[in-house]
Structure 1
Amino acid sequence: DMPGYGYAKVSKKERNSWQRLLKDYLRGRVNLKRSFVLIDGRHGIKDSDKEMMDLLDEAAAPYTVVLTKTDKVKREDLEKVIAEVEAIIKKHPAAYPFVLKTSSAKGFGIEELRTAIYSEAMIL
């Protein structure tokens, strides 16, 4: 979780300051193996998500998109959101070419997410 990402009740100047700080943090972080961009499955990728993905691309920081709250979306709507997200991440060089789908309420996809995190941390 990062300040200013998604919703934050702050001025545009403050948000821009946070983004510069984040960009500086990401650049040259050789120990940063992978980030996870959490996207609300009910809404799909929003402009703030695209901005974060662009920032990660610029910093050459690999990331995986994780759809959350997938239990709250009808199956056919979820399939549409997944297709849209997959089409978008194909255009982002730092994005892993797949989407993880999760529901913390139902426990769906949590084990796959943990595995992805552990594998980068070399815990497995």
Structure 2
Amino acid sequence: MKIKSAEFIKSAPSIKDAPELDGQAEFVLVGRSNVGKSSFINCLLNRKNLAKTSNTPGKTRLINYYQVIADPTPFILVDLPGYGYAKVSKTEQQKWQKNLEAFLKERETIRQVFQLIDARHPVQDSDFQMWEWLNHVGLSTTIVLTKGDKIKANQLSRQHQEASNELSIVKELIIPFSANTGLGKDKALASIQQVLNR
């Protein structure tokens, strides 16, 4: 797959505000706050600042849409608000969760979910709950272990195996990733292409 161009389309507070995209395949990113979704997008699409990165957890509170012109097939990347951020009110957390679940259940153009998990830490309860819920509603999901360059290679290998054990999936369905080094970028793009080919 070759990425020709990419552009930000819209930020939407809920599914009812989602843009009309002519039925294009959507690939959705979910993950805990500050897991590196924006860096993942920028690396994947060869754009340094297309998605705004922040060191402040919980900054992304809207659903962000990106149009990707790729050869041979264009598609949409969708960045959902991070889950598991404790420093917002319970009401706000519940609102985000409800919004996120409604989007994932009702959006018929979703073809695949990338669930991003920070490679520096064990799988968190909120990660496991999200993984189980995605499986429950039947959404095809690929796990991405982000920030793989922040730990030693043997630690990353161990985290890869532990994530496989914790989530009860084969290691081949988990992509170790680094936005800084490009580790895992080709695998992520190949995963998208494989889905588009179906």
Aligned to 2:180: 105
| Residues 1-124 of structure 1 mapped to structure 2, 5 A cutoff | 1-7=79-85, 9-90=87-168, 98-122=173-197
Q: TM-score normalised to the size of structure 1?
A: 0.80
Looking at CA atoms only, which structure, 1 or 2, has the larger radius of gyration?
Answer: 2
Q: Distance in 2 between matches of 1:4 and 1:14?
A: 12
Q: 1:33 to 1:51 in 2, by over 3 A?
A: same
Q: Which runs of 5+ in 2 are unaligned?
A: 1-78
Q: Distance in 2 between matches of 1:49 and 1:38?
A: 9
Please state how far the C-alpha of 1:4 moved relative to its aligned partner. 4.4
| Bigger mean CA deviation after superposition, 69-78 or 104-113 | 69-78
Q: 1:120 to 1:77 in 2, by over 3 A?
A: same
Percent of paired sites with the same residue: 35
Q: Distance in 2 between matches of 1:97 and 1:75?
A: 17
SS of aligned partner of 1:106: coil
Q: Which has the higher strand share?
A: 2
Please state how far the C-alpha of 1:105 moved relative to its aligned partner. 0.7
Which amino acid in the other structure matches residue 86 of structure 1? Answer: S
Q: Once superposed, what is the RMSD of the aligned Cα atoms?
A: 2.4
Q: 1:96 to 1:28 in 2, by over 3 A?
A: farther
- Count of equivalent residues: 119
Q: Which runs of 5+ in 1 are unaligned?
A: none
Q: Is the 8 A contact 1:23 1:55 kept in 2?
A: no
